[in-house]
């Protein structure tokens, strides 16, 4: 049975699209037939992060309006065989995205794919609502920063009250916390909320921690999802996230300060 | 953290770390926001309280503080709760 996963946060700029790109790539790298949908109508960016911006011909609104088939609009990822991208429209407005149309598309996608990853826009308005409405599971992307944590809490409230699963009284949407832009050094000096603090406040299971890293910018500059970068902590962290999502028990990494040169020399950790 | 950093902290007068402040502020505001979520107070509640109080005040002398109107949401039904503490007999209007 295909699973619909929304990547959401409320707040903008916390790493939803970066996460959607890497998470969907990670699922596909493990052999899962995966599609990632950009729900940010008017401000599409997933195509840039995935490096397929020049291959976009049709978008989700064209499919909803019946102008083209789903097959025509799906773009095959350049890095993974099992991954497809459904871009958002850049010219239309958010109202073009209606629940009936989205449900129709999701049902059609469920016939071919194992995982449908929905990259939500920021905010709590119609675009974000539509992205989360049909979700079976949710990745709540949160930065260790007060406004992001508060917005995540708000999103959790909406998932629990207004998602299709909530409205129809089905089993609730399964929530996963993903802390991004984490800096263990600043956590240790008491200048940043720790992952334990965030978990204690939001009270949902932790799926992973993505360290703050220059490689995220490097990845977006080149249009390659960060999970593909060699020797990068971010890539490793995203691979762990996908592994845990698939049910593997992996220890949390990148939550402690890296040992400096001298510490390593002395055998410290 | 190193001992030196700890010592500096101690000498500074054990200043509260900003992450601790952040956590406390979040816990307070979210407790407040969660309480209001779903059970958002309807717009008419303050007006209803005023009118009810005016009616009751015609017959019994009551304090503003001894009068509470609350709307509680349950799964299948909502409860409108009026809680009026009547004054002691000796103080009440005859």
Interface of A with B in 102-161 (CB under 8 A): 145-146, 149-150, 153-154, 157, 161
Provide Rg for chain A, Cα atoms. 18
Do A150 and B29 make contact, defined as CB atoms within 8 angstroms?
yes
Do A244 and A172 form a contact (C-beta atoms < 8 A)?
no
Is A259 in the B-facing interface, judged by CB distances under 8 Å? no
Do B19 and A189 form a contact (C-beta atoms < 8 A)?
no
ipTM over the 0.95 cut-off = no
pLDDT in tens, B23-47: 999 998 898 788 777 555 667 777 8
Question: How close is the nearest chain A Cα to the Cα of B16, in Å?
Answer: 9
The three-class DSSP label of residue A140 is strand
| Per-residue confidence (pLDDT) for residue B9, from 0 to 100 | 60
Give contacts of A193 with chain B, Cβ < 8 Å: 19, 22-23
Give contacts of B30 with chain A, Cβ < 8 Å: 150, 153, 201
| Stretches in chain A below the pLDDT threshold 50 | 268-269
pLDDT at B92 over 60: no
pLDDT in tens, A17-43: 999 999 999 999 999 999 999 999 999
The strands making up A75-76's β-sheet, listed across from edge to edge, are: A75-76, A83-86, A34-38, A115-119, A3-8, A137-142, A174-182, A206-211
- B94 pLDDT tier (thresholds 50, 70, 90): very low
pLDDT in tens, A54-83: 999 999 999 999 999 999 999 999 999 999
pLDDT at B54 over 50: yes
Tokens of A199: 């978990």
A123-156 b/e (C-beta count within 10 Å ≥ 16 → b): bbebbbbbbbbbbbbbbbbbbbbbebbbbbbbbb
Do B33 and A153 make contact, defined as CB atoms within 8 angstroms?
yes
Interface test with A, best of B1, B4, B20, B30 (most A CBs within 10 A): B30
> For B49-78, what is the mean pLDDT?
81
């Amino acid at each position: 049975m295909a699973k619909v996963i929304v990547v959401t946060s409320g707040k903008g700029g916390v790493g939803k699209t970066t996460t959607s790109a890497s998470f969907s790539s990670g699922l596909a790298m493990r052999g899962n037939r995966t599609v990632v949908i950009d729900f940010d109508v008017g401000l599409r960016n997933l195509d840039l992060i995935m490096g397929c911006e020049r291959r976009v011909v049709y978008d989700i609104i064209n499919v909803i309006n019946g102008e083209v088939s789903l097959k025509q609009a799906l773009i095959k990822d350049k890095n993974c065989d099992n991954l497809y991208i459904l871009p958002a429209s850049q010219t239309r407005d958010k109202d073009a995205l209606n629940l009936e149309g989205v449900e129709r598309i999701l049902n059609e996608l469920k016939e071919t794919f194992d995982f449908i990853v929905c990259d939500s826009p920021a905010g709590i308005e119609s675009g974000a609502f539509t992205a989360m409405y049909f979700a079976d599971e949710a990745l709540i992307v949160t930065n260790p920063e007060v406004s992001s944590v508060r917005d995540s809490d708000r999103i959790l409230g909406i998932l629990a009250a207004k998602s299709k699963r909530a409205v129809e009284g089905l089993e609730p949407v399964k929530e996963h916390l993903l802390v991004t832009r984490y800096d263990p050094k600043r956590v240790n000096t008491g200048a940043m909320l720790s992952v334990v603090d965030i978990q204690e406040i939001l009270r949902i299971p932790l799926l992973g921690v993505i360290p703050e890293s220059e490689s995220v910018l490097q990845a977006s500059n080149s249009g390659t999802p960060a999970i593909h970068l060699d020797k990068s902590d971010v890539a490793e962290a995203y691979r762990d996230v996908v592994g845990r999502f698939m049910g593997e028990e992996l220890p949390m990494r990148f939550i402690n300060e890296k040992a400096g040169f001298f510490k390593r020399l002395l055998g410290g950790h | 953290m190193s001992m030196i950093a700890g010592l500096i902290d101690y000498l500074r007068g054990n200043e509260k770390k900003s992450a601790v402040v952040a956590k406390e502020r979040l816990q307070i505001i979210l407790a407040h926001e969660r309480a209001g979520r779903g059970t958002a107070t309807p717009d008419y509640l303050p007006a209803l309280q005023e009118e009810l109080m005016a009616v009751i005040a015609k017959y019994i002398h009551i304090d503003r503080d001894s009068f509470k109107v609350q709307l509680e949401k349950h799964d299948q039904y909502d409860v409108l709760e009026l809680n009026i503490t009547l004054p002691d007999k000796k103080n009440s209007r005859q």
